[in-house]
Amino acid sequence: MMQRVFVRVVGFSNVERHSLNTIFRLSQDGQSAREWSFEPWDADSPTGPRLALIDGSSPDASEVLAELEATGVGIIWVGSISPAKAWQAFQRPLSWPAVLNSMDDYFTPQDQLDVDFGDDTWPAGLESPESPILPLASLVRVLLADSEADTRLYLRTKLASFGITQVDEAASMQEAQALLVPDRLQHLIYDIVIVDLDLPGGDPWVLLDMTSKTRLKLLIQHRMSLPSRMAAKINGAAAMTKPLDPSKLNILLSKI
């Protein structure tokens, strides 16, 4: 039996609203085998919204986001920089069928998700229930090596949403290696290391050799080549292409 879900829509142009309404109507097709149907929420709806579609360029976006962050409403964000609480984020031009798929995925339990990770690579250790478990999130230490300030800010925010706040940043190989000198690491082991393969100043792969006891290694790059993905897998690292997909990042971090 199809289940009815109300969606709060914030912002968007008239043309986009028209496309969105078409998506809503398609989701309500009783002839399909769909499990969920979606309808726009308003003050007269019989129940509250369970999802919110927010246009990040809308004047009301920040206010609505702050209002929803304390609730259990899922957030799908449209804009270049998404908030850490977003389930999924899209950039324009929008693919509305992809938005509909994301809405469906939000209500599908993770253990039932058959996720197509495309070019992203995931280390086998994260899939094993016997994998070592990280300490309490507040004690987890992260080395974040990326030359792009926006990416570092986004990842710090995303990590913070999981309660992980001890993050050391590096914008170059020299800065990263300075954080990994033996004297400094005598009483410190990074639980998570995130490295941009375009990090300037040297060979980023060296950082993997310097962090052999790290629980999770995540390699990121704008254009992740097949050899890089294969090398990541061999080294027990996850690999993701930029811009980072929030839902895939959520799944990766939730496995720790």
Alpha-carbon span 1 to 36, nearest angstrom: 9
CA-CA-CA-CA torsion for 152, 241, 246, 139, nearest 10 degrees? -50
Same domain, 27 and 130: no
The number of folded domains in the chain is 2
Same domain, 140 and 214: yes
Does residue 229 sit within a domain? Answer: yes
pLDDT recorded at residue 134:
47
Average pLDDT over residues 3-23: 91
pLDDT recorded at residue 235:
79
Same domain, 87 and 19: yes
Domain of 40 in residue numbering reads as: 3-112
pLDDT bucket at 248, cuts 50 / 70 / 90: confident
**Beta bridge partner(s), residue 5:** 38
Residue 220 pLDDT > 90, yes or no?
yes
Residue 122 pLDDT > 70, yes or no?
no
Average pLDDT over residues 111-122: 49
Higher-scoring residue by pLDDT: 35, 239: 239
Residue 111 pLDDT > 70, yes or no?
no
pLDDT tens-digit series, residues 45-67 = 999 999 999 999 999 999 999 88
CA–chain centroid gap for 145, Å, is 17
Alpha-carbon span 170 to 195, nearest angstrom: 9
Task: Please report, rounded to a whole number, the percentage of residues in the chain having pLDDT higher than 90.
Answer: 28
Same domain, 187 and 232: yes
Whole-model pTM?
0.52
Average pLDDT over residues 4-9: 94
Cβ contacts of residue 117 below 8 Å, gap of 6+? 248
Does residue 119 sit within a domain? Answer: no
pLDDT bucket at 116, cuts 50 / 70 / 90: very low
Same domain, 77 and 174: no
Choose the final residue of a domain: 92, 112, 132.
112
Average pLDDT over residues 238-252: 85
Same domain, 86 and 57: yes
Same domain, 95 and 153: no
Same domain, 214 and 189: yes
CA–chain centroid gap for 53, Å, is 16
Cβ contacts of residue 101 below 8 Å, gap of 6+? none
pLDDT tens-digit series, residues 150-191 = 889 889 888 887 778 889 999 999 999 888 876 555 556 788
Does residue 118 sit within a domain? Answer: no
Does residue 43 sit within a domain? Answer: yes
What is residue 148's DSSP assignment? -
Same domain, 182 and 102: no
Choose the final residue of a domain: 78, 112, 146.
112
Does residue 117 sit within a domain? Answer: no
SS3 176: helix
pLDDT bucket at 136, cuts 50 / 70 / 90: low
pLDDT recorded at residue 99:
84
Alpha-carbon span 55 to 61, nearest angstrom: 7
Nearest alpha-carbon partner for 190 in 169, 162, 163, 221? 169
Q: What is the mean pLDDT of the chain?
A: 81
Same domain, 128 and 243: yes
CATH number of the domain that 22 lies in?
3.40.50.2300
pLDDT recorded at residue 113:
38
Same domain, 128 and 108: no
Same domain, 101 and 144: no
Choose the final residue of a domain: 112, 146, 167.
112
pLDDT recorded at residue 102:
81
